[in-house]
Chains A and B, each alone.
Chain A
């Protein structure tokens, strides 16, 4: 409850600051939204083809009625370009292979639905990015690009809001032990859980000034707005933490050199503690054996003799209990020593890796990346303090001014690199996370949650990518997503990023203080 109040308060503050900026005249450059008639005229001027006229017809319907989606599905044009289909099949195959080879490396696939849903989510997310690239390169014509945007967004929203939560709820319900194992019980519980989820999801939009009330229930903006809020928060938290953690880990590797002798000393201590554990367990075992022999001998004597004999046996039992406690303590010590040994081995591996050429190259890149992280934190502070919202970031602005002629190529490369690194980074982190926490019972649920996170992340990065593109290419996003208040998202991202970075600094500082000179005891 407290968290919800905090969230509402912060959203109001952010919105208030934006409004104040507008009132005092400092308002950021608003993107120019073309009026509906102008948009239709633009589309009318495109090439004379069936697609164009069909698209025009449903654009008119879509603009004036929120239920245009049904008309869209009915009036599906016949000649949709095959090239984009091929890419979608490639993405689908890529997601399939990634799932089987990397994520489910150690598990057998019992439910093929999970694999299918994951691949579909991955393919739809990559399609959105592909459309941005097409926008920059001008591959398809404007109307069919617009159509694909709408279709892709609806598809991914349907997957993220309906399909994935439903299956997650279904698998969770299946795994709970005290639910009777019948089909219809599962389905009813799942539907109930989904309805609760949908209600919470709808309510998330309330404290945030995302939309205007004139949009209908089923319009894209409602869904994308809410998903965008969740996704932007998630991205900002992770970016904030990563931006602080990465330079810290880079620096810390300088401080603690590790030698072979250190590792050997630690391993010897580990084996000594393990040997002591074994010794105690042997004593427990022998003591139990003795008491069992006593017990079996005492069965022959009844009555008073039996009681006297059992008195003599009870110190053995107390001894067993103390021995068990001592063994538990030794086991705990062994675990700690083992974890330290793992740390030392990792550092040694890293040291060996740094000696190779590839390692050196990545190390240098790592230093540059650390500088970039620090710069980002600085820029977020500047953005908030000086109220700069939604402006193009300086690198892209510099490119626009300096190389106006080649701005298309450069934007393509920069945006392409950003897309590929974010996809790759997300997949690698998801894989690591999955290996760390999955077990054979929970693997399906975790994979579906990861698919949900992946879809949310990609949708919100499409929203935030406006900042990285020059103005002539970002118009498609602003057109498709209509009246979403993009400035709010940018400001919200900066705020959460800064909060997350500062709290990570705080946590890392406390952790560092708690383990001073952590190394060889």
Chain B
């Protein structure tokens, strides 16, 4: 087990959108029986074959950390945010506000300070944080009276931060078919950030069965995360400064 490398992907979204069910479905290939509200974070792992079927095939552990979405626990969530190699943003297809709130989640994760636990074993990813902190001005986040951030959301910031991202819409079975086919007129975070989007129902295994377009997108996303972490470390510093003006980086 010590020989298998790992990547850490955070699953973020409002409370009740189905992150725990989604993570269980991805890792165990069966729907979860009794989902309960997540307090803190829940972790599941999956063995993923990077570049499956090709000569460079290698097995990696993908850790999926689903962070509880209660707003009352916001001040303590930051302990889970480091290090992060990929993001899955979840929203509820029956509730448009949950997609709008993804902006806040993205800002929260991108604006996290370096004030995490000073664990000497956790040097993995620490340099990245320091570089980001220097490059982007943290004083952009304002606070209103109750201490909530007035979120300064900037797609450029996401592009520059270069974390691979995937957007997943859950509870597909609860909305009518017409809603799925017509494109949503409002805010669409996947388009803004140039990420892939999957729509599925976490209680049904056929949505992620091997060979479906959903599972292809998911494994492509995992491959991108692994590639970003392990195969681009050498030229990551030049790349980061040059993406300041680019809209998206792949």
Q: Which residues of A are at the interface with B, using a C-beta cutoff of 8 A?
A: 104-108, 264, 267-268, 270-271, 274, 277-279, 281-283, 285-286, 289, 331, 334-335, 337-339, 341-342, 345-346, 349, 435-436, 439-440
In the complex, the 10 A-B pairs of residues with the closest C-beta atoms, listed nearest first: A338-B40, A345-B75, A439-B16, A341-B76, A335-B39, A342-B76, A267-B79, A108-B95, A108-B96, A267-B117
Residue on B nearest A346 in the bound complex, by CB:
B75
CB of B46 to closest CB in A, whole Å = 7
A274→B43 CA distance, assembly (Å): 8
In the complex, what residue of chain B is closest to A286 when comparing beta carbons? B1
From B44, B73, B116, A338 is in contact (CB under 8 Å) with B73
Pick the contact of A341: B79, B96, B116 (CB < 8 A): B79
Which of A264, A271, A334, A440 has most chain B Cβ within 10 Å?
A440
Interface of A is mostly: helix
Residues of A within 8 A of B92 (CB): 440
- A267 → chain B closest CB, angstroms: 5
Known: A105-B97, A264-B117, A341-B76. A289 touches B47 (CB 8 A): yes
**Chain A to chain B contacts (Cβ below 8 Å), 27 pairs:** A106-B15, A106-B97, A106-B101, A107-B97, A108-B96, A108-B97, A267-B79, A267-B116, A267-B117, A274-B41, A274-B43, A277-B43, A281-B44, A282-B1, A282-B45, A285-B27, A285-B61, A286-B1, A331-B42, A334-B41, A338-B39, A338-B40, A338-B73, A339-B40, A342-B72, A346-B75, A349-B75
Nearest A-chain residue to B38, judged by Cβ: A335
Decide: B94 and A285 in contact? CB cutoff 8 A. Answer: no
Determine if A339 and B97 form an interchain contact, defined as CB atoms under 8 angstroms apart.
no
A264 to B115, CA, bound (A): 10
B71 at the interface (CB under 8 A from A): yes
Hey, which chain B residues are within 8 Å of A439, CB to CB?
15-16
- If the complex has contacts A285-B46, A341-B79, are A435 and B72 also in contact, measured as CB distance less than 8 A? yes
B98 CB within 8 Å of chain A? yes
CA A331 – CA B40 in complex, angstroms? 10
Indicate if the CB atoms of A338 and B76 lie closer than 8 Å.
yes
Contacts of B27 in A (CB 8 A): 285
The minimal Cβ–Cβ distance linking B101 to chain A, given in whole angstroms, is 6
Give the number of residues in B that approach A within 8 Å (Cβ atoms).
37
A106 touches B1 (CB 8 A): no
Are B79 and A107 interface neighbours, CB within 8 A?
A: no
Extra inter-chain contacts (10) besides given A282-B1, A283-B1, A440-B94, CB under 8 Å: A271-B117, A278-B45, A331-B42, A337-B40, A339-B40, A345-B76, A346-B75, A435-B71, A435-B72, A440-B92
Shortest CB–CB separation between residue A256 and chain B, in angstroms?
17
Q: Please judge, given known A-B contacts A107-B95, A346-B75, whether A282 and B16 are in contact too, CB under 8 Å.
A: no
Residues of chain B in range 62-101 having any CB-CB distance to chain A below 8 Å: 63, 71-73, 75-76, 79-80, 92, 94-98, 101
Q: Is B201 an interface residue when CB atoms closer than 8 A count as contact?
A: no
Decide: B119 and A271 in contact? CB cutoff 8 A.
yes
B14 close to chain A: CB less than 8 A: yes
- Asked if B234 is at the interface of the complex by the 8 Å CB criterion, the answer is no
Q: Does B185 contact A (CB under 8 A)?
A: no
Question: A435 to B116, alpha carbons, bound, how many Å?
Answer: 27
Return B182 CB to nearest CB of chain A, in Å. 16
Residues in A with CB closer than 8 Å to B95 are 106-108, 440
Task: Determine whether the beta carbon of B14 is less than 8 Å from that of A106.
Answer: yes
Which chain A residues lie closer than 8 Å to B118 at the CB level? 264
Chain A contacts of B76 at CB under 8 A?
338, 341-342, 345
A339 touches B15 (CB 8 A): no
In the complex where A106-B98, A271-B117, A345-B75 touch, is A278 in contact with B42 (Cβ < 8 A)?
Answer: no
Q: Which of B27, B76, B118 has the most CB of A within 10 A?
A: B76
Chain B residues within 8 Å of A108, by CB: 94-97
Q: Are B43 and A281 in contact (CB under 8 A)?
A: yes
Which residue of chain A lies nearest to B99 when distances are taken between CB atoms in the complex?
A: A108
Interface centre among A105, A337, A338 (most CB of B within 10 A): A338
Q: How far is the CB of A350 from chain B (nearest CB, A)?
A: 11
A342 adjacent to B75 (CB under 8 Å): yes
Q: Is the CB of A281 within 8 A of B94?
A: no
Compute how far the CA of A274 lies from the CA of B44 in the bound complex, rounded to whole angstroms: 11
CB distance from B44 to the nearest CB of A (A): 6
How far is it, in angstroms, between the C-alpha of A242 and the C-alpha of B92 when the chains are bound?
Answer: 37
